[in-house]
Structure 1
């Protein structure tokens, strides 16, 4: 009876553990396949790709007791993306000046566009972030895409990283000619308006008070000659200022047409 009880207890404990291990292994295999399909590469060090999907809200402790998240890879990927896109635009538009190239690059590396691309790539399923955060309403996906670019660079080097960015991101998700014709850098447009009309333009940006566990948000106010004309919100200071500038340009347009 006692022996039967021990065997029964052992099965009761081991079976759920085996199920958990099986599920973990299956998810690991699916993630590997996702990375391979998304990048077109066979990962060398899969751990670096896993790190690219860990948002700071869900960071974990590594073997060296230090916290791990994707911020360092994001920093690296941001630099790689900017350099690769700059080179592609330089070669694609040989007759355009520096101002055009700079503006077009800023539209491509725009956080909103990167978020959209990451969503279309299916990255949302794999991002590890605090459950209270709705990642579709934050810059988390765009950050993870930059971190993925950084991971490819660390794992495979610059040339492979460049090919990944051009083939799997730019060519698949971005119409360069369309982006080149579209000017959505509202902050730059507002500053240019101020220069044209000889009026000072500045932004007042502050972090919005939020509940614990929610993603930080920012409020920006655009002031002309010291008078606040429009404001906007965003999940980064840059996004908030862009929204504030856009709303201000609308107000200015309404005043000019009335």
Structure 2
């Protein structure tokens, strides 16, 4: 009752009315502790420096929000798919909580308009800034409103309005897992050689990955994390794997294996 009475004042007359309005417009409620939400919007490139030299930004809230989103998503899928096995739910959860999906949700609800950046080209070139801010915001909501509240918000509003479980179920973006499964099924070894590019900036690391099947290079990829680079390397393999290419590759692998065994 008190919150209901304070809502108009906070949104129209309080010192932080712009922040209150922003959260109300994005998520449909007025926060208790607005400072958490302010912090959730500060990207590390625009970190505030305290008198003792410590930098504060949204990374800690991002860490917390990541765990909260994964827990809520697990609840959601367990209820939505009572007859599906653990493997199916794990794969679908990874798609929902991926940086790509969360970045898309952040843009769709308009969160990208409020994230505080330093404005440099390197910062703006990063792909998942807004998805990271979305995670930080869920961490703030969890601390401010509790788990049950963020659970209902994510499932009943954000996921249902901005995600299509049918499309996600039919899509396939975990190319690394597919490639590993294919190699295991066909009795081939698979590994990824991933390194950080020497010329990448400290605040914007880039990684390069090479996929090797039986020690033969078959694909390459790059990304802003080791995981992304390896996915891109696996994706490059999948794009070249026509039936003819696959057969030729297996023949080449077999020749290399036989050659090694004969020495």
Whole-Å separation in 2 of the counterparts to 1:256 and 1:226: 16
CA offsets, 1:69-109, max 9 Å, x none?
11111111111111111111111011100100100101111
Tell me, yes or no, if structure 1 residue 174 matches structure 2 residue 188. Answer: no
Paired position in structure 2 for 1:255: 245
Whole-Å separation in 1 of the counterparts to 2:70 and 2:221: 26
Whole-Å separation in 1 of the counterparts to 2:97 and 2:125: 18
Paired position in structure 2 for 1:188: 177
Paired position in structure 1 for 2:92: 104
Whole-Å separation in 2 of the counterparts to 1:27 and 1:194: 60
Whole-Å separation in 2 of the counterparts to 1:231 and 1:223: 9
Paired position in structure 2 for 1:158: 147
CA contact (8 A) 2:102 2:134 kept: yes
Tell me, yes or no, if structure 1 residue 47 matches structure 2 residue 35. Answer: yes
CA contact (8 A) 2:193 2:209 kept: yes
CA apart distance, 1:64: 6.4
CA apart distance, 1:148: 0.6
Paired position in structure 2 for 1:74: 62
Tell me, yes or no, if structure 1 residue 30 matches structure 2 residue 18. Answer: yes
CA apart distance, 1:198: 0.9
CA apart distance, 1:31: 3.0
TM-score normalised by L of structure 1:
0.83
Whole-Å separation in 1 of the counterparts to 2:138 and 2:108: 16
After superposition, the Cα gap between the structure-2 partners of 1:247 and 1:81, relative to the gap in structure 1 and judged at 3 Å, is: same
CA apart distance, 1:226: 1.3
Tell me, yes or no, if structure 1 residue 234 matches structure 2 residue 229. Answer: no
Whole-Å separation in 2 of the counterparts to 1:202 and 1:169: 37
| Secondary structure of residue in 1 paired with 2:116 | coil
TM-score normalised by L of structure 2:
0.81
CA contact (8 A) 1:153 1:160 kept: yes
Tell me, yes or no, if structure 1 residue 118 matches structure 2 residue 102. Answer: no
Tell me, yes or no, if structure 1 residue 208 matches structure 2 residue 197. Answer: yes
2:49 to 61, 71, 87: 61
Paired position in structure 1 for 2:9: none
CA apart distance, 1:136: 5.9
Whole-Å separation in 2 of the counterparts to 1:75 and 1:62: 21
CA contact (8 A) 1:53 1:126 kept: yes
Whole-Å separation in 2 of the counterparts to 1:212 and 1:256: 37
After superposition, the Cα gap between the structure-2 partners of 1:29 and 1:217, relative to the gap in structure 1 and judged at 3 Å, is: farther
Q: Which runs of 5+ in 2 are unaligned?
A: 1-12, 249-263
Q: Which runs of 5+ in 1 are unaligned?
A: 1-24
Whole-Å separation in 2 of the counterparts to 1:59 and 1:220: 31
1:131 to 113, 119, 125: 119
